[in-house]
Amino acid sequence: MKTQPETVFSDLKIAAFSWAMVGPLTLKFFADYGATVVRVETSLRPCVTRTSPPFKDDEPGINRSGYFSHFSANMMSLSLNMNNPLGVGVAKDLVAWADVVMENFTPGVMDRWGLGYEELREINPRIIMLRQNGFGMEGPYRNLGAFGMILAAIAGIPNYIGWPDRGPLPVGVGAYTDCISPRFASAALIAALDYRDRTGKGQVINLAQFETALYFFLPGLLDAAVNGREPVRRGNAVPDAAPHNVYRCRGKERWCTIAVTGENQWKSLCGAIGGPDLATDPRFDTLLHRKENEAELDALLESWTSERSPEEVMETLQAVGVPAGIVENAADVFEDPQLRARGLFWPMEHSEIGSFAHLGSSMVLSKTPAQASMPSPCMGEHNEYVLTKLLGKTDEEFVELLAAGALE
């Protein structure tokens, strides 16, 4: 009889060389389900998220960034000076130890360190390498700085955001594409593990963040290819539903959504907001009429919502089966009872930040739920553990590497 492993990935070892958000977001699919994840960093050039606000008590510090820490639960940090041959040597030991090497630098960086796929394969023939660059390993854009706003604009996303009388708008969250490729990459990586276990063969997977972003706008791309049509900005209006908008609520910057997608919902909405004549008002009695008089309709609804909190609008309308919700700001999301019930945030004690909510998993698995087992790492926090426990170095060897400046 097989013994039950503790976690899904309790025997999976990942070495990660990453920059900014795409690395940790991909690693989360493994780290949150028990993989041993070692992130190679350097204090000589810390990840941009370590040096970005917010900082605990507004004091900048390499271990004080809430941005970095929020996304780094369950991962270890190994600091390596990759300009030092001994540092590169440790990286190669890590490759020999690992099942998976993940990287998302611009093409060339890993190869300059002698960590291209062919070299990795010589060290570890079964290695699976994931290269998740902005634009891929080949092509004219490969060296473009691939940060969020650039990728989103190149992928054409702002064409889909804005008002008819104004220009295109960036996605609010900025680096929107950062969360797209990690899902695709994780699925492919786990599939490659299955293939490796059946055949003994490793591989390199190259995924361009730019390309997976296009999967989120495919119908628009097909529309352009087939019908020659480009997106036309129309605010929150849609052709097949009205009312369908964001409405002002009581209070500063408080908003709700209402999206009526059928006649029954329209009747329920009329009943709920207490206008008995509204349902039979000839201006609004059919979808066609509501679309024709949408500005009037929106104004009428807003006169009702603006006297209420978004919570009250949501509860009143959901009670009668009308899709409506709070336009949640950061505080709302943080306190959202549904997201709380599903354990989206993991409060853990961080040695420099104190109690702090780390981001959890995006999903709930019935038999192997994600687990919060370790707070975000300080820079190099796991150097000794990784070198002596995982890579089998002696204490003397560890001290030598330290003294030689390889672990900076």
- Which residues ranging from 212 to 231 are in contact with another protein (CB under 8 A)? 212, 214-231
Compute how many residues bind another protein; rule: CB under 8 A.
153
**Which three-class secondary structure state does DSSP give residue 191?**
helix
Nearest of 380, 388, 370 to residue 406 by alpha carbon: 380
Residue 299 in contact with another protein, rule: CB under 8 A: no
Residue 300 in contact with another protein, rule: CB under 8 A: no
By CB under 8 A, the residues from 78 to 117 that bind another protein are 117
Residue 261 in contact with another protein, rule: CB under 8 A: yes
The one among 13, 44, 89, 203 contacting another protein by CB under 8 A: 203
Tokens representing 172?
A: 């609010």
Residue with tokens 């361009």: 208
The one among 13, 183, 267, 289 contacting another protein by CB under 8 A: 183
Please identify, using beta-carbon distances, which residue of 195 and 398 lies nearer to another protein: 195
Residue window 133-152: x/- pattern of binding to another protein, with contact defined by CB under 8 A: --xx-xxxxxxxx-x-xx--
10 CA to centre of own chain = 23
Cα–Cα distance between 132 and 107 in angstroms, integer? Answer: 10
Please identify, using beta-carbon distances, which residue of 32 and 93 lies nearer to another protein: 32
The one among 44, 86, 109, 154 contacting another protein by CB under 8 A: 154
Please identify, using beta-carbon distances, which residue of 22 and 386 lies nearer to another protein: 22
Cα–Cα distance between 260 and 232 in angstroms, integer? Answer: 22
By CB under 8 A, the residues from 310 to 349 that bind another protein are 318, 321-334, 336-339, 341-342, 344-345
Rg over alpha carbons for the chain, rounded to the nearest Å, is 26
343: amino acid identity, one letter: G
Q: How far apart are the first and last CA of the chain?
A: 46
The one among 46, 83, 126, 160 contacting another protein by CB under 8 A: 160
Q: Which stretch binds another protein (CB under 8 A): 76-84, 233-241, 287-295, 399-407?
A: 233-241
Residue 263 in contact with another protein, rule: CB under 8 A: no
The one among 61, 162, 271, 275 contacting another protein by CB under 8 A: 162
Question: What DSSP element (H or E) covers 331?
Answer: helix 330-335
* Other CB atoms within 10 A of residue 130 CB: 23
Confirm if 38 and 15 have CB atoms less than 8 A apart: yes
Cα–Cα distance between 100 and 371 in angstroms, integer? Answer: 21
